[in-house]
Amino acid sequence: MSGVLRDIKPSSVFYYFEELSRIPRCSGNEKNVSNYLVSFAKENALEVIQDEAYNVIIKKPGTEGYEGAPTVILQGHMDMVCEKNKDTKHDFSADPLKLKIEGDFIKASGTTLGADNGIAVAYTMAILASNDIPHPPLEVLITTEEETGMGGAKGLHKDNISGKILINIDSEEEGVLLVSCAGGVRDKVILPINWIQVNSENSSYLLTIRDLKGGHSGMEINKERGNSNIILGRVLEDLNQNFELSVYEINGGAKMNAIPREADAKFVLDSNSYDSLKDRIKEWNNKLQNEFKVSDPDVKVDVIEIDERPKKVFNKETLNKLIALYRLMPNGIQSMSVEIEGLVQSSTNLGVVTTDNKEVIFESAIRSSIKTLKEEIFNRKKVLADSIGAKVVAENEYPEWQYNPNSYIREVFIEAYKDMFNSEPEIDAIHAGLECGLFKEKLGDIDMISFGPNMYDVHTPEEALSISSTERMWDYLLSILRRIK
């Protein structure tokens, strides 16, 4: 074994993890990694199915003494969220990830790591390639496009799967067993732009929001981290009230399912107002650093003059509607569960804002463990959009996974955890979408659980995977498999 991870254990798991890191696999670009998994299966003389969605199913018979055991589905997804820092030069369509080790953590240099969910794929490959790990009959299901609407799970053919026990390896906290998840829907609010000609004698400026922590819009929505798009809307509203502002471009965020860390606005303004503008921005920095002193202490607002001379800008009506959308768009936690203490029940995240020649598009991810509350948030956005002449469309809806009070696999996980770690695991629900909701809908009566090693700051360039936790959860998974007879 060669590479950055060659000296850490479990060696087989980290070997495959590093191999995966060399293959570009952003959501929607999984063909090559899917083909890699097919080749891996064939090299190991295993039955393999690759479907139209590039999902890969690899089947392996039970080892000696486990031939009659129930078939277990081990499941993860091959795609990853591809996000990088502004100053990082990385082509996600061609470049391998640059892995590094910092103490107990594996990270990537300036980009997301892809441990969500490459570690699940690495675990399953290590099991499939082994000749000395006891296990029941296995169906390893590796899906595509999980991060952008669970397209692979939606395209799964139920006839390709026979198992009735599913272990999802897409959780991010050791010792927490997930038994329920939120459903979700992506929505776009689309505001038409009316343009007017601009006074070319004025200067152009770039307003930036930077250095927020961001994070997973489900897992970390309860941390009340700043949303760069929402902050940009607040600042724009203030500047529009105090200056003769002519905006011509708005952009913010990278992924709908990531709390946005950065946002930009470009506008034209009389250069004589620049000193007053800088003073106003200084006030905003003081205000925001006080508001976010715990969650985002490094948040920064800045404005600089840029060498651009736009020929047209938004008219005043468009700008006022744009600001109204920013200021009134539902965002963040919308309701908390009264059944499970501390569980976010419903939320929405304004993840991406973009401008083209015809419209400004606001893209959000709505989540809820109750279907009707998910619908209610969407309907509120529709009322807002209708009131100002915008439109809203829904995309990539996926169902929730409801708690099963009579779960065999949950009891196996609990007993194994107590035996290995001399403590009780935490049984929890998650305010994020897992493919389990779709599997329940597609495969019917299936017993599921989700677990995984410690990961931090997923969906951001600070994403980190704990090496020691990966090893503990590897041993835990092997213990689970030995117990299913």
Catalytic residue check, 457: no
pLDDT digits (tens, 9 = 90+) for 187-241: 999 999 999 998 777 899 999 999 999 998 988 999 999 999 999 999 999 999 9
CATH number at residue 373: 3.30.70.360
105 and 148 together in one domain: yes
Burial class from Cβ neighbours inside 10 Å (0-12, 13-18, 19+) for residue 174 reads: buried
* 176, 201, 405 from 412: Cα distances, Å: 14, 72, 14
Average pLDDT, the chain: 95
Is 172 contained in some domain? yes
Which of 350, 377, 398 is a domain's end point?
Answer: 398
Sequence-separated (6 or more) residues with CB below 8 Å from residue 206? 264, 265, 266, 303, 304, 306
Model confidence at 337, in pLDDT bands (50, 70, 90)?
confident
CA 299 to chain centre: 22
Residue 459 scores a pLDDT above 50: yes
DSSP β-bridge partners for residue 366: 185, 348
CATH number at residue 110: 3.40.630.10
* 147, 410, 432, 445 from 379: Cα distances, Å: 24, 36, 20, 32
Q: Could you tell me the residue range of the domain that residue 431 belongs to?
A: 11-182+400-483
Least confident segment among 118-122, 131-135, 269-273, 296-300: 269-273
pLDDT at 62: 97
- Phi first, then psi: give them for residue 99, nearest 5 degrees: -80, 150
In degrees, rounded to 5, the angle at the alpha carbon of residue 291 between the alpha carbons of residues 286 and 292 is 100
pLDDT digits (tens, 9 = 90+) for 28-37: 999 999 999 9
Tokens of 353: 């804002």
Is 26 contained in some domain? yes
pLDDT digits (tens, 9 = 90+) for 282-303: 999 999 999 999 999 999 999 9
Half-sphere exposure at residue 228, Cβ-oriented, CA atoms within 13 angstroms: 32
DSSP β-bridge partners for residue 252: 263, 353
- Looking at per-residue pLDDT, the higher value among 429 and 10 belongs to 10
Is 1 contained in some domain? no
Residue 215 Rama label (left phi>0; alpha psi -120 to 50; beta): left
Report which of 357, 358, 364, 402 is spatially closest to residue 381, judged by C-alpha positions.
Answer: 364
Is 5 contained in some domain? no
Instruction: Name residue 81's amino acid.
Output: V
pLDDT at 413: 98
305 and 327 together in one domain: yes
Looking at residues 60-83, what average pLDDT do you find? Answer: 97
Which of 354, 374, 398 is a domain's end point?
Answer: 398
DSSP β-bridge partners for residue 465: 106, 455
Which of 350, 369, 398 is a domain's end point?
Answer: 398
451 and 366 together in one domain: no
165 and 261 together in one domain: no
pLDDT digits (tens, 9 = 90+) for 165-198: 999 999 999 999 999 888 889 999 999 999 999 8
Residue count (the chain): 485
Least confident segment among 73-77, 142-146, 258-262, 337-341: 337-341
Is 91 contained in some domain? yes
Of these residues, 19, 30, 146, 172, which one is catalytic?
A: 146
143 and 270 together in one domain: no
Q: What gap in Å lies between CA 232 and CA 183, rounded to an integer?
A: 28
Tokens 């959308």, residue located: 325
H or E segment and range at residue 348: strand 344-355
Q: What gap in Å lies between CA 190 and CA 221, rounded to an integer?
A: 24
Residue 401 scores a pLDDT above 80: yes
In degrees, rounded to 5, the angle at the alpha carbon of residue 341 between the alpha carbons of residues 347 and 433 is 40
Q: Round the CA-based radius of gyration of the chain to a whole number and report it.
A: 24
Residues 228-257, buried b or exposed e (16+ Cβ, 10 A)? bbbbbbbbbbbbbeeeebbbbbbbbbbbbb
434 and 349 together in one domain: no
- Phi first, then psi: give them for residue 345, nearest 5 degrees: -90, -45
298 touches 201 (CB < 8 A): no
Cis amide leading into 117 (omega within 30): yes
Catalytic residue check, 145: no
Sequence-separated (6 or more) residues with CB below 8 Å from residue 242? 280
Model confidence at 56, in pLDDT bands (50, 70, 90)?
very high
pLDDT at 2: 60
Residue 433 scores a pLDDT above 80: no
Burial class from Cβ neighbours inside 10 Å (0-12, 13-18, 19+) for residue 364 reads: buried
HEC profile of 369-388: CCHHHHHHHHHHHHHHHHHC
Tokens of 230: 């929402």
pLDDT at 268: 95
Is 132 contained in some domain? yes
The domain tally of the chain equals 2
Task: For 148-202, list the strands marked E by DSSP.
Answer: 165-168, 176-181, 183-192, 195-197
Is 6 contained in some domain? no
164 and 242 together in one domain: no
Residues 75-105, buried b or exposed e (16+ Cβ, 10 A)? bbbbbbbbbbeeeeebebeeeebebeeeeeb
15 touches 7 (CB < 8 A): no
Tokens 């502002």, residue located: 245
Of these residues, 18, 19, 30, 79, which one is catalytic?
A: 79
Is 383 contained in some domain? yes
375 and 433 together in one domain: no
DSSP β-bridge partners for residue 80: 26
Cis amide leading into 10 (omega within 30): yes
Residue 1 scores a pLDDT above 50: no
114 and 198 together in one domain: no
Residue 406 scores a pLDDT above 50: yes
**DSSP string of 104-118?**
TEEEESSB---HHHH
Q: What gap in Å lies between CA 107 and CA 86, rounded to an integer?
A: 17
Tokens of 14: 């980290």
